[in-house]
A and B are shown apart, each in its own frame.
Chain A
């Protein structure tokens, strides 16, 4: 560190002064960090506020001509791209951002800029706010993905101790009372999911999600989904979390994670221009994969809220996706019937599964991760062997005019529903065991409860139906 060497020769008195200043700065920063979360923030943009600071203070060394450490700070793209050592800003996380560290550090030898005056308090505050607000480039850009509410993925999963949590501890308790938004007709049950651990079923409403007891269909809590229509619902493998994804058609799309027990929202990801069509939470709870009408699959980190991987293989809406319970694979499907399997960790392509001629409506994994089922508007259900992509069982006319949903139960049995207004139960070998019908409305979604005792369906008139299986 040849540059910092001479500074070590400063007298001790100077060090004391620095220590005081350091303490002061620390206190100030604590203050401002605390204060900023309360005060109403004006929206800051790179072009209006940040570009000027960075160019004037940093541009000489990190500019177009000279790029120390491979970093350019004279363009938005350069700031976002970061240096040779990695990213310097993390949307929504000024504390985790290298840029904030180097402009605020008390270590004279490390602080940037190395020469000249440090950034003023106001400038530091602006940069900090700009990062926390999501790194907007200009007034027209939307906030980058932000981490929210400090969600921590469940690290205990691999130990298997999760199984030991009794089912009654995974039931909603004392949810805050909220009013469901009144609609002129009952909202169709676009999303439906049963907890794999506890007797609880989640069903979408307009602007909220209702949780029910599958035995009596009594409501046991409502959580708000202010983003609009929750199109996709799914519980985590642990039964601890509920994932909801949806939005408003051609206006907004995002996904949210809730604590099933408390009803609290833990995280939300995505700021898409259209309703999310499909979503799933990885078994280790570190990722949320979503399928968009933009034909993209985006995988968000639940920790940072940022996009970690984008899959652009699909050529139409991504209508279904699901992680295998062991987390090793991700299956995705689209509106023209293509299905792909990806490596759940790296996102690398594994297999292409082709059988469906029309839109795939649903993908669901068997609990042993060896079989994934797909169903579609072509009326077909396919049980795929995930090892080599072989269509082990193919039911070509499972539901006349189209299959709308297919979900495995814990024992490998399968529940499906379709445009023929039937709900069917299939054995693990693909034999039709039972069928139930509803009149006048379409059964849009179906689920099997964790104990295998109930089959639950939601219809286009907003009604829930259930039938005992034992």
Chain B
């Protein structure tokens, strides 16, 4: 008879409490040492807490799984791969301890684990590279990892289930389940501020268990830094300052990831905080952060730049000549506020926002679509979205209505969330769950389909519980031939977690119990998503709006929010999110405050201290115009329209979505110009579908392509100017105002006047000037 691991073979009494007592004691020792360590301090070395070998043979879940994790055995490229490696499979980062026990101990009797001759266990021989091992040597026989494994094998390689057998122990353990589980992990410090590079400090990684105990797992964690150029972290949790900046280092243990912020300050000498004026809460949050980092924000941008920036951002095109003059002629101090108000009241603002959402929701229409993405449905959906924004519907209600929608998709716009979000002939609950979560929560929960999310808190139960919100969605033919009726099938069964084969009823993310109400669980989902307390939703929406206006999210990429991708300024994101809730998800009010902040209005011209900053909004980010905004701007400044396939003449490019007369054969940009300039093909919900990178083909297209060539002088503005027989300096000035929303400098004007004077064909010169302006980065970028 083998004794369970927690029973002392020497004295037959319950020693579990003693064991945890030992761990707790070690933890308090660590805490004392950490408390005495200063930020500039040396690393502190304490022995990690471990159980007395006589008292407690190692437990598979508590002690052995962490070894497999720490040594990297269960990582993705090794045995954690979906099909294992060289015949031996472990669950990725240990999401399935029971399966790992079976595969390690029982699958091939006596091979990987040899309890009769423990040191001959293949697990040990491989890990120490005593026999050929593809993964090489992971530790040596002197290491603690080896000793723990050996002790466990010497104890008979027991599984933890044996614990349930003895009720006496379960009672003492305060847990009916038996083995305590890790419930969370924490670093000994959340924030580290280094005064200069080449300093270092030791972090301790602490795990909280379900029985209330805390264990120092520093020697069992895995660590990484988001930016090794700023700070590195080694295998022992020692954080090293490398260069000025801010980043996060992470520790991982069990299924958890935890981060600590690391700030490496530039030298204080020569830095003077300029103390810029503060317009609203946003400025305070951003400037507090900048002051802490010893980074000075840039100056306010000039009026011309502001006009162009805010017009492009809010209504998706360059300002017109009239808009320029209206703004330039306003001499009041509140002229910028008034401009923002004016733009927000335009239908163009609502339509542009609606179009951005339609793009995100993958609206696309075809005549003969195999799915349900017919043109009529696409139009109905796009019009419904536009109406919501025109009447400034609160964003949470907008999403909630779509979430709970049922009915025929040509008659009922919002139900097309379930036809457009995932283009497929059949409803795909897994993809719906993944895309819904990515768009509305910014969370890529699909990582947890096959294993617990390696870098976030979501596990497979969370994923399959979330999928169950969509497993009942069905389509049946509607009234019209191509219409589909979307309904919830109450006879549907929930998604099944493949690890244990048990169904997981619909469960909201971050909520411990499943939805209780019978019937369509999407009602609960709609209530939850629109609830002001739903931090995930509010943060995601606030971050998306911020990213649109600033060119970068506080979390970037905007649709990959996870523990290991934290906000660059957590207080700012919290502040924005809280404000959005306070404003009851009123888009216009929220945008108005951002645009009125000094931060939004900063110049793109960097200061000495903020030149290298790309994360803290210390200066305006240069952004190449979106493909559709660029096309609309070219049309606006040249006055020559550009028709789009399958749309009425004069339709704005930002409002365009692909409408195909034939079958909707997969994602496509719809127009060659869009393809060249990276407009989203609506192939996926990923925000990365919209590309902003410059390419050579873009340059070539603008230099010699038909978009600009055909608009230089085909009955456009230029011809009109010529017809009015204005003096050359006026024509040049007007061209500057039209294209670049500013007046020319004296140098520019004089140089160009010289060309005009020297030329026999003045129209050619003006065309060249216009052509040059349209090809300039000043025009192509929002600055």
Contact = CB atoms under 8 A, between A and B. Distances in A.
Interface in A429-470: 442, 444, 460, 462
A249 B131 contact: yes
A351 to B, nearest CB: 26
A183 B106 contact: no
Secondary structure type dominating chain A contacts: loop
B117 A183 contact: yes
Interface stretch (B108-116, B342-350, B566-574): B108-116
B150 to A, nearest CB: 11
Which bucket holds chain A's interface residue count?
A: 20 to 34
Contacts of A187: 110, 116-117
B115 A185 contact: yes
- Name, among B111, B116, B117, the residue most crowded by chain A CB atoms within 10 Å (CB to CB): B116
Contacts of B117: 183-184, 187, 206
A380 B126 CA distance: 32
Contact of B109 (A183, A186, A251, A460): A460
Contact of A462 (B116, B122, B125): B116
Contacts of B132: 250
B125 A249 contact: yes
A248 B126 CA distance: 13
B125 A250 contact: yes
A250 B116 contact: no
A185 B120 contact: no
Contacts of A335: 87
Interface string A178-190: 0000011111101
Which bucket holds chain B's interface residue count?
A: 10 to 19
Nearest to B112: A249
B605 interface: no
A183 B109 CA distance: 16
B131 A251 contact: yes
A249 B122 CA distance: 7
Give 7 nearest A-B pairs by CB, closest first: A183-B116, A250-B131, A187-B116, A249-B122, A188-B110, A185-B116, A185-B115
A317 interface: yes
Contacts, number: 45
Interface of A: 183-188, 190, 206, 229, 248-251, 275, 316-317, 335, 419, 442, 444, 460, 462
A229 B120 CA distance: 11
A264 B549 CA distance: 87
Nearest to B162: A440
Secondary structure type dominating chain B contacts: loop
A442 B116 contact: no
B48 interface: no
Contacts of B611: none
Given A206-B116, A249-B125, A444-B109, A317 B87 contact: yes
B236 interface: no
Nearest to A445: B109
Nearest to B154: A184
A248 B120 contact: yes
10 contacts: A184-B115, A187-B110, A188-B110, A188-B116, A190-B110, A250-B125, A251-B131, A419-B106, A442-B106, A462-B116
A250 B156 contact: no
A442 B109 contact: yes
B109 A250 contact: no
A249 B116 contact: no
Nearest to B118: A184
Contacts of A186: 116
Nearest to B131: A250
Given A184-B117, A184-B118, A187-B116, A249 B111 contact: yes
A462 B120 CA distance: 17
B534 to A, nearest CB: 43
Contacts of B126: 250
B116 A184 contact: yes
A188 B109 contact: yes
Nearest to B120: A248
Contact of A185 (B109, B111, B156): B156
A185 B120 CA distance: 13
A460 B126 CA distance: 23
Contacts of B118: 184
A442 B154 CA distance: 19
Given A185-B115, A206-B117, A249-B125, A190 B131 contact: no
Contacts of B154: 184
Nearest to A274: B131
A178 B306 CA distance: 95
A53 B154 CA distance: 55
